[in-house]
Amino acid sequence: MAVVAVTAQCTSSISKCISILPFPCARAFSSARIVYSGHNRWSKIKHDKSKEDAVRSRERGQWVSQIELSSKQNGPDPNLNSELAALIAAVKKIGLPKTIIQKAIAKGQGLSESGKPLENITFEAILPLSVSTIIECQTDNKLRTLQDIRRTIKEVGGTITPTIHMFERQGRIVLGSDKEIVEENVMEMILDAGALDMEIQGESTVNVYTDPVETASVARSLSESSGMEIKGYEIIWRANPATQVDVGSTVEGSITLGNIIAQLEGEPDVRAIYHNGI
């Protein structure tokens, strides 16, 4: 009887407490998934930022490659190399740090910032999402670079394996226009200049592909005949179309690949990264 009395008293107390709550009592537990407000919007923001960062990084890489190429072909002194002087002025406007500019000029001469000779090393690897990549490095300490890049590839979930057969060595010229680009007109123009192929990016940018040894001459020809701005040119590894992997169709794929490339680009000896992810 004592136990029943206590239970009845507790039940009565709980009922009184519930009766004075300022809102109706609701079930405390639910099997429904919690959706946080703004989650999808934040995913979109991260996706957009990842794409913007990738574009910005690629554009800076193109400028750096062009500075290296100009330094190699026409000399490291901007007072005697007008093309190099123009490039330095252009990259300063987009905020490229002075140290990176100096490093690019030195690399064009095959030297490190300290003046030591640089050695070229190329890595081939398969990254997560089955993305094939070629990583070009320049270093004054080969052993250190081999250890660092191999470790980073392993950290991001990649595997060192031959991939170069999935790519072709080509020159790439980036053209810009203040008008909407008509593909038929541009194609005829670039073929007349001796180019091999082209890709239109957005409404005002064209990537033109050439034989590597003809990159500079085709760029000069297009500069004179097209009326379009030469934003940059470089020698690259271009993925064969048949080997391309679609990773950009999902937010997760884009972010994953963007983060992997960013981690690899963070290695100080990495000069360029080419992959077949689209």
* 63: confidence class by pLDDT, cuts 50, 70, 90: confident
Mean pLDDT in residue range 47-74? 72
Q: What is the pLDDT of residue 249?
A: 84
Angle (CA) 111-149-210 rounded to 5° is 65
Q: What is the pLDDT of residue 54?
A: 58
Q: What is residue 88's DSSP assignment?
A: H
**Phi first, then psi: what are they for 211, rounded to 5°?**
-65, 135
Asked if 231 contacts 175 with a C-beta cutoff of 8 angstroms, the reply is yes
* 96: confidence class by pLDDT, cuts 50, 70, 90: confident
Q: Which of 94-98, 147-151, 199-203, 216-220 has the highest mean pLDDT?
A: 147-151
Q: Measuring CA to CA, how many Å separate 140 from each of 41, 52, 84, 115, 164? A: 45, 32, 24, 9, 24
pTM over 0.85: no
Q: What is residue 270's DSSP assignment?
A: E
Indicate if the pLDDT at residue 19 is higher than 50. no
